[in-house]
Amino acid sequence: MKFGKIFKKQMVPEWVEAYMDYNGLKRNLKEIRSYKYSRLSRAASRVSQQAEALHRSFSGLSYHPSNSEHAGDIEEQVIKVDTVQQDDSRKLYKTKFLKKSEEGGEFEETFFRKLDENLNKVNRFYRDKVDEVLEEAALLDKQMDALIALRVKVQTPDSYIMNLEKHPSDKVVVDPSDSTMRTLGSSNSDMVHGIDRDSIPEEAFHILPDIVPITHIDDESDEEDSSDVKQDLREILARVKMNDALESPMSTLKGVFGDSKNDEPISKKGLKKAEEQLRLVFSEFYQKLRRLKEYSFMNLLAFSKIMKKYEKIASRNAFRNYMKTVDNSFIGISDEINRLLERVEITFVKHFANGNRREGMQFLRPKVKREWHRITFFSGFFSGCSLALIVAVVFKIENRNIMEKDFGTEYMANIIPLYSLFGYIILHMLMYSANIYFWRRYRVNYTFIFGFKQGTELGYREVFLLSTGLAVLAFICFLINLQLDMDWRIKDQKTLPEVIPLGLVTIVLCILFCPFNIIYRSSRLFFIRTLVHCICAPLYEVTLPDFFLADQLTSQVQAIRSFELFICYYGLGEYLQRQNKCHSHGVYNAFYFVVALIPYWLRFVQCIRRACEEKDTIHGYNALKYMLTIIAVIIRTAFELKKGRNWMILALISSGVAAGMNTFWDIVIDWGLLRKNSKNPYLRDKLLVPHKSVYFAAMVVNVILRVAWMQLVLEFNLKSLHRIAVSTIISCLEIVRRGIWSFFRLENEHLNNVGKYRAFKSVPHPFHYYNDDDSDDKDD
């Protein structure tokens, strides 16, 4: 594989703009090569003159002075790299091409100017990121101070506090000014994290490995000099407080009623939760360090490759001179990342893996996701079986002439809604599988955006396998249902065929909630947790997976109503009469309204919470959009149940207003398209799909499918079976529209992250650490 492809593959998607523009520099080299070739073709016309000059030179008739006086470093005669010192002590590099006067020298000068721009860009970005991780390391260091102090307090509270009070002067302190993460550094055999070993009971030694550089205070003068910057364990405990972010229903309710303070003593359960949270913080921090190390290595390698190509094309010796500059730049000489990586590993293994390095590194290092050939095989096998079963079902219906019999229409009107639930789920999974495929193709970092644990996320093959497997299961059940009904006849009122759909739902729910580590357990737990957050929308902090799933649910209204139908059909015994008369029950009709509003209501309260927390009016307008949709759904459902001309007019008006508002929001806000001043007319500046026509086609399709749901209002004189068929088709079209929306919505989110270089999750720290200023403010 060529280096250009490897370089692109190894890029952090959100940092693409910060990498060296390898392909752009290759284009500059192609210009130099094209000029060289054109010059050679012009030189071919002077072959005879050159041959004659060469003959005279060899014959000794021509005399040339020796060039020995010009001997020296040839590379210095090609380029000269100057360093410009900035006010913030950063260096800028500017290369002077010394052969500019030669023919075609302007092309090479342009190449070196762009090469300098890339070197300065890479150094600037890398330095900013190094400064950022050093600040994070200092914060993480304080978190470790708090964790270890609280471990002692929780596990050995009485003996330790008494010992500490007996020896208040025998204290060893930690210097918080060390920004290279002193918690992750070397150790002193007599000290344990800033505390004298003599003041710690023996039962606490397993809690506090000696891992930090610390210093004794031997006299009062030293103690006075360091009192402003150093602290002992008691000061740490006095300044530490558990962060109580509004992440759970109870904490949210406490925050609403003004009781968000957490002054209760920390228990072992709280300490364990803090440890788990810090494990995640360490993991994300470690991944960032690894990515920065890869960023440095790949860019250094890219500079080396491009300079070798330049030497080969231009036939000039400039590689060693320029690479010396690159190696002496910040990205070449900085070693902070390697040191931090080593210290993070040491600290994590000692504190969170009980000294077991293998266990600790398995948690820190991302799992490499393996691609199994059997997944591809079974995906193809199940898809083929699904097509064969569809043909078998069609032949079964046609062969038995079900639709031509008196009971055929009523029978199909009863059975189709029961199995359409699985059709909606399968179609949605297929759209999600297609989205994953295209997200990967266009390098949309969906795993980071959704917050999937690396190595456990489902790929498009796995999702396709699940969808085709469910399709095979559903079609087999449907075919068995038809076979049993046709053999035993409807009038026999046998119950076995009727409970087959219920059995299929039971199987699917058992697989979904199965606690055992089978069938992608981590992904199932992620889905269930996100679903719970959606259902309890105002009580949990709203994250992107939460509102993204809630948006998906708004396109599954008919599927949710199918669950209600299952409850009515089997709970009220309708299946015994092989009839679906659920609409004759008032309770069913009431819930028929409610279940259609639930997804939109969840999105509404999510928007309200985000508007209150983030103080952004855009979420308020989004909430208004969902409120208009709720009104439209209520009126449309009322028309569906009550009919009447007035209800139809109200349904058309409300649905039209909601469809217009939703269409505008989809295209302009969620997709970020229709920008007036964009360099891509009526689109946006950055596009991942190379064909612009795709975006215009998606906008047109979105408008058409948004309006399609109004067909349910217009088709008011259809027979029951035809009405069910139209409703099913339009629901499927809505799922397709949502799948298209999902791709461009995540593409826009990815580009927003790229603009801000956000490539890693922000895991909240478990402790809040009060500084001196905070303490003063608190006292005031």
Give tens-digit pLDDT for 381-395. 999 999 999 999 888
Round to whole Å and give the CA distance between 582 and 564: 10
Range scoring the smallest mean pLDDT among 80-84, 202-206, 417-421, 466-470 = 202-206
147 backbone dihedrals φ, ψ, rounded to 5°:
-60, -45
The closest alpha carbon to 293, from 246, 327, 337, belongs to: 337
The closest alpha carbon to 598, from 656, 681, 534, belongs to: 534
Round to whole Å and give the CA distance between 479 and 385: 13
* Residue 635 structure tokens: 């009126």
On the question of pLDDT at 54 being above 80, the answer is no
**What 3-state DSSP class applies to 231?**
strand
pLDDT score, position 719? 55
pLDDT digits (tens, 9 = 90+) for 86-120: 766 678 899 888 877 777 778 888 999 999 999 99
Over residues 684-700, the mean pLDDT reads 93
Band (pLDDT 50/70/90 cuts) for residue 396 is: confident
Round to whole Å and give the CA distance between 684 and 744: 12
On the question of pLDDT at 593 being above 90, the answer is no
pLDDT score, position 418? 86
The closest alpha carbon to 498, from 393, 573, 425, belongs to: 573
Facing residues of 85 across strands? 91
94 backbone dihedrals φ, ψ, rounded to 5°:
-135, 120
Sketch the domain layout of the chain as residue ranges.
1-43+74-365, 373-755
Q: Say which residue the tokens 């931090």 belong to.
A: 340
pLDDT digits (tens, 9 = 90+) for 407-417: 667 777 778 88
Round to whole Å and give the CA distance between 651 and 656: 8
Identity of the residue numbered 684 = R
On the question of pLDDT at 206 being above 60, the answer is no
Band (pLDDT 50/70/90 cuts) for residue 184 is: very low
pLDDT score, position 56? 45
Mean of pLDDT over the chain: 78
What is the DSSP code (8-state) at residue 669? I
Q: Are 131 and 89 contacting, i.e. CB atoms less than 8 angstroms apart? A: no
pLDDT digits (tens, 9 = 90+) for 444-457: 989 889 988 877 88
Band (pLDDT 50/70/90 cuts) for residue 549 is: very high
pLDDT score, position 204? 43
The closest alpha carbon to 705, from 741, 669, 657, belongs to: 741
583 half-sphere exposure, CB direction, 13 A CA radius: 11
pLDDT score, position 526? 94
Round to whole Å and give the CA distance between 366 and 288: 11
User: Parallel, antiparallel, or unpaired: how do β-strands 215-216 and 172-173 relate?
Assistant: antiparallel
Q: Are 304 and 22 contacting, i.e. CB atoms less than 8 angstroms apart? A: no
How far CA 25 is from CA of 22, 75, 83, 112, 729, in Å, comes to 5, 20, 21, 9, 52
pLDDT score, position 528? 95
Band (pLDDT 50/70/90 cuts) for residue 290 is: very high
H/E element, 400: helix 373-400
pLDDT digits (tens, 9 = 90+) for 131-158: 999 999 988 888 888 888 888 777 665 5
- Angle between helix 268-314 and 3-10 (nearest 10): 160
Over residues 456-478, the mean pLDDT reads 94
Residues 6 or more apart whose Cβ sits within 8 Å of residue 208:
148, 151, 152, 192, 193, 195, 200
Q: Are 604 and 626 contacting, i.e. CB atoms less than 8 angstroms apart? A: yes
Band (pLDDT 50/70/90 cuts) for residue 172 is: very low
Over residues 254-260, the mean pLDDT reads 56
Residues 6 or more apart whose Cβ sits within 8 Å of residue 199:
160, 163, 164, 167, 170, 171
pLDDT score, position 156? 64
Within 10 angstroms of residue 407's Cβ, the number of other Cβ atoms is: 14
Round to whole Å and give the CA distance between 153 and 732: 59
Facing residues of 83 across strands? 93
